[in-house]
Chain A
Amino acid sequence: MSEAARIHLRNAQGRRYRIETAFRWSALITGGALALLGLSRRSRSGVAIAAAGGLLSYAGAKVGTRQRELITRSSILLNCTPEEAYQFWSKFENLPLFMRHLESVTLMGETRSRWIAIGPLGKRVSWDAEIAFDRKDDVIAWRSLPDSDIYVDGIVKFRNAPANRGTIITVVVVYQPPAGAIGNALSKLLGKDPSFMMRQDLHRLKALIETGEIPTVEGQSHGPRSGVAAAARIINPDDPIKGDSKLTEVLGARRRVS
Chain B
Amino acid sequence: MKAVCWMGTEKMTVETVPDPTILNPRDAIVRITSTCICGSDLHLYNGLMPTMEQGDIMGHEFMGEVVEIGGGVDRQKLKVGDRVVVPFTIACGRCFFCQQQLWSCCDNSNPNYWIAEKMMGYSPSGLFGYTHMLGGYAGGQAQYARVPFADVGPLKIPDGIADEQVVFLSDIFPTGYMGAENCNIKPGDTVAIWGCGPVGQFAIRSAFLLGAERVIAIDRFDYRLKLAEEAGAEIINYEEVDDVVQLLKDMTGNIGPDACMDAVGMEAHYSGPMWAIDRTKQVLKMQPDRPGVLRQVIMACRKGGTVSVPGVYGGFIDKMPMGAYVNKGLTMKTGQTHMMRYMKPLLELIQGGKIDPSFVVSHRVPIDKAPEMYKIFRDKQDHCTKVVLDPWANGSVAA
Binding site for B on A (CB under 8 A): 77, 79, 165-166, 196, 199-200, 203, 206-207, 210-226, 229, 248, 251, 257
By the criterion CB–CB under 8 Å, are B96 and A166 in contact? Answer: yes
Of chain A, the residue at the smallest CB distance from B126 is: A215
Whether B26 is near chain A, meaning CB under 8 Å from some CB there, is: yes
By the criterion CB–CB under 8 Å, are B96 and A223 in contact? Answer: no
By the criterion CB–CB under 8 Å, are B53 and A225 in contact? Answer: yes
Of chain B, the residue at the smallest CB distance from A219 is: B23
| Distance of A93 Cα from B387 Cα, bound (Å) | 52
* Interface pick from B80-88, B131-139, B169-177, B314-322: B131-139
By the criterion CB–CB under 8 Å, are B26 and A212 in contact? Answer: yes
Of chain A, the residue at the smallest CB distance from B15 is: A223
A-B contact pairs, 6 of them (CB 8 A): A79-B96, A200-B114, A207-B92, A210-B92, A222-B138, A224-B55
By the criterion CB–CB under 8 Å, are A251 and B146 in contact? Answer: no
Whether B111 is near chain A, meaning CB under 8 Å from some CB there, is: yes
| Distance of A216 Cα from B112 Cα, bound (Å) | 9
| Distance of A248 Cα from B15 Cα, bound (Å) | 32
| Distance of A211 Cα from B153 Cα, bound (Å) | 14
By the criterion CB–CB under 8 Å, are B94 and A210 in contact? Answer: yes
Q: Which residues of B contact A199 (CB under 8 A)?
A: 114
By the criterion CB–CB under 8 Å, are A218 and B23 in contact? Answer: yes
Would A217 and B138 be within 8 Å (CB), given that A210-B108, A224-B55 are in contact? Answer: yes
| Distance of A78 Cα from B253 Cα, bound (Å) | 53
| Distance of A165 Cα from B99 Cα, bound (Å) | 10
Binding site for A on B (CB under 8 A): 1, 3, 5-7, 13, 15, 17-21, 23-26, 53-57, 71-72, 92-96, 99, 107-111, 113-114, 126, 135-138, 146, 148-149
By the criterion CB–CB under 8 Å, are A213 and B95 in contact? Answer: no
Q: How far is the CB of A242 from chain B (nearest CB, A)?
A: 15
A211's contact among B56, B96, B149, by CB below 8 Å, is which?
B149
Q: Which residues of B contact A165 (CB under 8 A)?
A: 96
| Distance of A196 Cα from B109 Cα, bound (Å) | 19
A213's contact among B7, B21, B25, by CB below 8 Å, is which?
B25
Of chain A, the residue at the smallest CB distance from B54 is: A226
Q: Which residues of B contact A257 (CB under 8 A)?
A: 94
By the criterion CB–CB under 8 Å, are B107 and A206 in contact? Answer: yes
Of chain A, the residue at the smallest CB distance from B27 is: A213
Q: Which residues of A contact B71 (CB under 8 A)?
A: 251
Q: Which residues of B contact A220 (CB under 8 A)?
A: 20, 23, 137-138, 146
By the criterion CB–CB under 8 Å, are A223 and B17 in contact? Answer: yes
Q: Which residues of B contact A214 (CB under 8 A)?
A: 24, 111
Q: For A203, A216, A223, A225, which residue has the most chain B Cβ atoms within 10 angstroms?
A: A223
| Distance of A215 Cα from B137 Cα, bound (Å) | 10
Q: How far is the CB of A178 from chain B (nearest CB, A)?
A: 29
| Distance of A211 Cα from B55 Cα, bound (Å) | 29
Closest 10 CB pairs of A and B: A223-B5, A223-B55, A223-B15, A207-B108, A211-B92, A226-B54, A210-B94, A225-B55, A222-B55, A213-B24
A215's contact among B7, B24, B56, by CB below 8 Å, is which?
B24
If A165-B96, A210-B107, A222-B138 are given as contacts, then 7 extra A-B residue pairs at C-beta distance below 8 Å, sorted by A number, are A79-B94, A206-B107, A210-B95, A215-B135, A222-B56, A223-B17, A223-B54
Q: Which residues of B contact A210 (CB under 8 A)?
A: 92, 94-95, 107-108
A224's contact among B19, B54, B72, B146, by CB below 8 Å, is which?
B54
B111's contact among A216, A222, A224, by CB below 8 Å, is which?
A216
